[in-house]
Structure 1
Amino acid sequence: MADDTSVKLRTKQLYCIFVRNHTKEGTLRALVSDLDRIKNLGTDYIWLLPINPIGEVDRKGTLGSPYSIKDYRKIEPTLGTWDDFEYLAKEIHDRDMKLMIDIVYNHTSRDSVLLKTHPEWFLRDDSGKLFPKNPDWSDVAELDYDNKDLWEYQIETLKQYAKVVDGFRCDVAPQVPIKFWEQARQSVSEVKENILWLAETTGGDYIKVQRDKGFWMSTDSESYRAFDYAYDYDIDQTWHDYINGKTELKTYTNALNNQELIYPNNYIKMRALENHDNDRAHKLFTNENDLINWLAFSEFQKGSSLIYAGQEFGMSHKPDLFEMDKLNWDKHELELSDLIKRMHELSQDSIQYMGAYQVTPESNDLVKVSFEQSSHIRVGIFTLRGNCGHVRVDLPDGEYTNLLDNKPVTVYRGIVEIEYGPVIIEGNV
């Protein structure tokens, strides 16, 4: 991890917005009307999916993917202008939030400004044709970072945005050489200090496939040399195997605990139940009680947290990236805003971003997460498949208060009885 990354960044909550689909107008300025509500969730950073012009050649769908970018240095006209972008940034800052934008540096669209002006900056096969490392990415042209002039152009672009924004979420960051990201971080810091760098890291299987083809791919450990945050895709397959009944809870909790050993001491994982690439959490967990427990468990894990717009209302439909697909803000499938806000409040306590952390599987698919600092302990217990049970905790017998709903919780003979809701209690050992 970047040596100067503060572990206090584990307290930050990100809120992700796809501008096209977020409001009726689908513009940058229209977002301003929703900022106060978003702020009230506990949001620290608003992350905008790419806001640059979208390519037309080999476009997917009617409107194209925001990740097929025609010009890094311009704003997509249907979203607004550069002035609109700066206006939104000011409104976000006026509410004591920060702005993060998506940076897509592995590839451009197939009719991009760079492809026209610098065709030598792109990856090609032996016949000179554009060559995608991932065959599914048929609408993009992949950049070749063997060209150091490309580095200079890309870093200058980041400096331009750094005058306005406070963070960069870097798409498929491991496919861009880590030395580029290290240089970019250093150069951008000369424009603005304390820029937050989030890497969309990838799972081990994908890393192996690309390395076998002879391409650069960073592991999460390597990514931490330049980035503050990394996705938790390193354990994503294990997580899906557990929720799909293909493996036991212990296998998943072992993977979580192993992150404590294989990453730097100040590592930060961005914890998320859903994002723009994956199914909504309410689609994965149709039982509402399970969804509540999984949300609380996810946000109680060590790291930062991500909310994908609409998740706070239990939306089960994932918006289409290639078509107009507006969020239905009138339909609240499950109200989760208060839980999100409370979990964020708890994450501000030093015990949760500095304390010793352990995840323990319990019987009946219950899981216990504990943080210890000095003689103090905070314990969260979550039922992941709607089961009741009994969980042993390292707290003296007595009456405690569930920090989520202020209801009493009894510890008797070192045991807590769990029904269906998440429980978080604390005390001195």
Structure 2
Amino acid sequence: MKHVKILSITLSLMLLFVACKQEKDVKKQEEETASFEPISNEILESSVIYEANIRQYSPEGTFSEFTKDIPQLKELGVKVIWLMPIYPISMKNRKATPDLSIEDIEDPKEKEKYLGSYYAISDYTAINPEFGSMEDFENLVETAHDNGMYVILDWVANHTGWDHKWIEEHPEYYHKNKDGEVTDPINPDTGETWGWTDVAHLNYENDSLWTAMKDEMVYWVKEKNIDGFRCDVAGNVTTDFWNFVVPELKKEKPVFMLAESEDKDLFYQAFDMGYNWEGHHIMNEIAQGEMSVKDWDDYMTKIDTTYQEDDYLMNFITNHDENSWNGTFDERMGSASEAMLAFTYALPGMPLIYSGQEYGMDKRLKFFEKDSIPKSKGEFWNVHVKLGELKNQLKPLNGGKEAASYERITTTNDENIIAFEREKEGKKLIYVANFSEDPQDFKFSISGKFQDMMTSDDIELKTDQLHNFEPWEYKILSDR
């Protein structure tokens, strides 16, 4: 009897301990959830965005392997993770090369290596099994949130893969040719195919499609707690659809919307940020000696009149399209790469890091096959860490809807030297660089004591001082 009493007391104590522990775990989880703020314009002002190519991020190509590295992305100042499409890829008409489909490959073994384009989606609310399970994806999102980062999904509203159930169940959702056949996307300017033969073109003249697509997008926000979308070829989808769907998403929670477009109409209501494609191409041309600083100045004058004051763009030296189709940043920018990287952080807007860029990746990643990025941390990693720290901490680098001002500083050599000042809340920062392949002398009317933010050296500038910069030399100077 005594033993029974002792056993009863022991069991009671154990149950009490378990109950207390569960209560503490729930309380801790509630506190962590409460401490993670919904995404906001204020947070985005100082954000770096990271484009995650899950297939190529690791030899395994899985969510789990990427999730392991999320904590170290904090070292790079990353606050937003953009996942390239994570959905199942259609087998029908699957791309093997830019010119060949899987049906053109006869050897079964050869066929196995062609995984197709991420942008040929067969199911908007499922996970590509190559990457892992839905549980693995949920863990990725939770880990990002635990580390103070937000997750946005790549969304392809313009087209589906040819295996998507809508092809059979809702053919009215698609564009058709004169024979009533569903078509791949057609260039409206030329009437010719874009060459995206692995996808079928959706037709937004059908109102039922709007509701169906909205439901697919709401699923990820409501059920999987993601924080927004990067929308592929957003300008090819009617602006009215985006203006309809974004408020529906925001009924669930605040979301961040990135358009792969420079179409200013998209920013009036729907999108927070667009692509700085034109600026990127000018950077390439300057690096290659085909354009000069004057071309950049003309571009900045143009966008001042083109966009609203609270519009902003994503700045980049590379992304998945540029890397695979136009070459690595080293191929396109060469010895100008670091100066251009720092430029993307110093400009108004948000800087992008594409998977592998942080490691100084010097190869073009395969697009339709398995590949893998390098993972050896070198000087380029260190530069990214420093620039990320500056972006996160310095108000003059704010780049969102309440961006710090941008004012060009005149020099005695404006053909080759670019200098500008950013200012916010009384704090100033100067970016100055030699955008040429030759040493350059110049003077500018800036005086005072500054800190070189990349080296932590103290610098005193005088108005009559002659400066000499080596090719592609740059400085980020703060008055703090």
Q: Relative to total residues, which structure has the larger helix share, 1 or 2?
A: 2
CA distance in 1, matches of 2:305, 2:43: 19
Which residue matches 1:95? 147
Query: What is the SS of the residue equivalent to 1:257?
Result: helix
Deviation of the 1:283 alpha carbon: 2.1
Q: Does 1:365 align with 2:425?
A: no
Offset from partner CA, 1:342-383 (integer Å, 9 cap, x none): 223323422232432034584462211211346653211122
Which residue matches 2:61? 26
Deviation of the 1:176 alpha carbon: 0.8
The amino acid of 2:166's aligned partner reads: L
Question: How much identity, in percent, do the aligned residues show?
Answer: 27
CA distance in 2, matches of 1:370, 1:385: 20
TM-score by length of 1: 0.87
Offset from partner CA, 1:235-255 (integer Å, 9 cap, x none): 444444433333332012220
Q: 1:381 pairs with 404, 414, 432, which one?
A: 432
The amino acid of 1:261's aligned partner reads: T
What root-mean-square deviation, in Å, do the aligned CA atoms of Structure 1 and Structure 2 show?
2.3
Which residue matches 1:282? 330
Which residue matches 1:201? 261
Which residue matches 1:311? 357
CA distance in 2, matches of 1:198, 1:416: 43
| Range with greater deviation from structure 2 (141-150 or 243-252) | 243-252
Which residue matches 1:146? 205
Offset from partner CA, 1:188-238 (integer Å, 9 cap, x none): 111112x11000005xxxxxxxxxxxxxxxx23444431001001244444
Deviation of the 1:37 alpha carbon: 1.8
The amino acid of 1:357's aligned partner reads: Y
1:342-357 matches, within 5 Å, as 342-347=386-391, 348-353=393-398, 354-357=403-406
Asked if the contact 1:301/1:369 (under 8 Å) is kept, the reply is no
Which residue matches 2:339? 293
Deviation of the 1:93 alpha carbon: 0.9
Deviation of the 1:5 alpha carbon: 7.7
| Range with greater deviation from structure 2 (111-120 or 379-388) | 379-388
1:116-135 matches, within 5 Å, as 116-131=168-183, 132-134=185-187, 135=193
| Range with greater deviation from structure 2 (175-184 or 342-351) | 342-351
1:46-195 matches, within 5 Å, as 46-61=81-96, 62-131=114-183, 132-134=185-187, 135=193, 136-163=195-222, 164-193=225-254, 195=255
Go from structure 1 to structure 2 and tell me whether the alpha carbon gap of 1:100 and 1:166 turns closer, same or farther (over 3 Å shift). same
Query: What is the SS of the residue equivalent to 2:320?
Result: coil
Which residue matches 1:6? 41
Offset from partner CA, 1:280-320 (integer Å, 9 cap, x none): 21221222xx2111111121110111000111121121211
Query: What is the SS of the residue equivalent to 1:312?
Result: helix
| Range with greater deviation from structure 2 (58-67 or 256-265) | 256-265
Q: Which has more radius of gyration?
A: 2
1:329-344 matches, within 5 Å, as 329-330=375-376, 335-344=379-388
Offset from partner CA, 1:139-163 (integer Å, 9 cap, x none): 1101000111111111111111113
Go from structure 1 to structure 2 and tell me whether the alpha carbon gap of 1:264 and 1:8 turns closer, same or farther (over 3 Å shift). farther
Asked if the contact 1:220/1:234 (under 8 Å) is kept, the reply is no
Go from structure 1 to structure 2 and tell me whether the alpha carbon gap of 1:257 and 1:409 turns closer, same or farther (over 3 Å shift). farther
Q: Where does the alignment leave 5 or more consecutive residues of structure 1 unmatched?
A: 203-218
Offset from partner CA, 1:16-74 (integer Å, 9 cap, x none): 11111111211112212211222211110111100000011111111100001011111
Asked if the contact 1:221/1:263 (under 8 Å) is kept, the reply is no
TM-score by length of 2: 0.79
Which residue matches 2:70? 35
Query: What is the SS of the residue equivalent to 1:322?
Result: coil
| Range with greater deviation from structure 2 (123-132 or 387-396) | 387-396
Deviation of the 1:123 alpha carbon: 0.8
The amino acid of 1:120's aligned partner reads: E
Go from structure 1 to structure 2 and tell me whether the alpha carbon gap of 1:179 and 1:390 turns closer, same or farther (over 3 Å shift). same
Query: What is the SS of the residue equivalent to 2:351?
Result: strand
Aligned pair count reads 403
Query: What is the SS of the residue equivalent to 2:299?
Result: helix
The amino acid of 2:317's aligned partner reads: L
Deviation of the 1:417 alpha carbon: 1.8
Go from structure 1 to structure 2 and tell me whether the alpha carbon gap of 1:170 and 1:340 turns closer, same or farther (over 3 Å shift). same
CA distance in 1, matches of 2:244, 2:92: 32
| Range with greater deviation from structure 2 (89-98 or 419-428) | 419-428
CA distance in 1, matches of 2:239, 2:209: 15
Deviation of the 1:7 alpha carbon: 6.4
Which residue matches 2:106? none
The amino acid of 2:374's aligned partner reads: N
CA distance in 2, matches of 1:358, 1:382: 15
CA distance in 1, matches of 2:199, 2:173: 14
Deviation of the 1:118 alpha carbon: 0.8
Query: What is the SS of the residue equivalent to 2:241?
Result: helix
